[in-house]
Chains A and B, each alone.
Chain A
């Protein structure tokens, strides 16, 4: 495998640009250390299609986060170019990145996810949806979490205790996306479940305890702001329950190669799925690499393993069954 030319896609124009660059450069360095001829392409700095058309690469490692990188846009381009790439295929990306579609799918498959309601900017602007804002609170219950339907890294997310705070929270979320998800807030232990390979190939669970109590952007990306335990400090029974929910999530959404599901385990030991990522962070404070570490897989091994999944596919052609 060594010496193969690998394009690591990172950066881009989403609000998670910085995080993605950190992930991408780390992946590149790891792959280079394993003898790959890996280099980073930042779609915001160079024309992606032109670069990939001329560079002969064996595969692309997708380390983009957020819009365009996780919503299927880049994946569609890569399929059109006939290139092999790591991670999930376009439609499943689209379904997963959009929290509304993801929650609908999970709910239909009876995966536990907190009750929710959606409010869309066009409905507010053109259809007078503001008049029934209180219904959102009634339907979902308070306290609630308001988040943009399409964004990552907890950006644009607000905790709402009182109905009066709802308009401001909705406006904040709508700065990032055209619709906002109002979700019942579940109190409990935050857990991340990671998959590398098939939906049943799970890494140890990671438990997240932010010192501020809230796992927001600062808690995610400031070293030391959050304590992590891997494996999570859960009973074997609850661990099994989380793993089986996670596998169900990955299967239901049709995820491939690598993914992370974030859950809250409530006081009764029930896991609730709150977010799913098709391109999980690979930074030094990211959860999936911690999970791998707990399984005895070091970072270069992890990257090589994920890349290997793409390299063993014959091509990304849409006509080829996976």
Chain B
């Protein structure tokens, strides 16, 4: 009995140290990212006064872009999404919808709304994909092409788009997203003005729920009604305004939202295109590009700008949220595992020594550590190894520090873009930021832990989040 108690004692002590390190490492780095982003976003805001988007708009050197919209059973949202893409303010733009074998009315709604006719097409794949079975065009809308292919998954649909696109850059856009009119122009600005070859440019994704929309455009920005969606607004602000911005500033970008990002086509093709072996093809491609650049001694740049905005629908029910978070966590673990040789690899620089280890430990393993922490720390108290007072202080610290970071994200938003203009919205956001770590965080943690378990079980199933048509 004594041996068992001793074993448990040692085990719980080690685990408590792991939890502590997770807490300090995670929050410490997030604090650094927040401080870095605060300055960078502020400077970016100043730059907007003289950004010269007009020059980019009229410059004959501005490169053509193709927006690729992969769609699978998106009948409720696809028309508005395509409409928003066609309305984008960009001098040389093509829009291509790749229907990934939908079984609903996705294609027929597009045909009906845009007056498309089926045509004969030739397909010259550079990246191997499932076959394309139908092509639709309307000669009166020459910059729109819809192709329908045999189902092969989102990465396959994106690869078809890459094969078919003729422009040097392509922008992938999720079928439930709405673009702001000048978002693409802003996204291309860092590419046009960079001395180093910029192969990826990502923008911010904001939550559409609660906003007023018409014909693919957001007319009025507002907060969603339900607590679940509001927590996600705060979460997105934190993730994009200082998570992505901060990593970009450090040169350690590992995630660019697949919902809205511009890629250099030739580089993506050289790196092998989107892979099918993870469920988060966007992150996988970014990590793959890092690996490809390091192996081929290529100097590339990945840019993130917190200003070009794409609006997306967030899950409005617990079941949808669970699907989404499980998939994200599963994809994260799959990608990190797949590219594990980057971990502490000398040639990968900041990515190999900071960004990848951080994502592996805090974002990947962290879900399991934190979840088990909630179970094992009470055991420590029960065994008399952790003083309850200390535990209470630490738990409070954990909650309040999380709140501090979330409030920081809201402050960042307030200092810079102020997309939520009403004073009531600011108050609501602050309240939800303070309480995000009590209840909601644990709920999401539970889903993430399930994602880790699915990864350990070897699952590769894509859990679709049904879109209810907030954009419609």
A and B: partners?
Answer: no
Query: Residues of A at under 8 Å CB distance from B?
Result: none
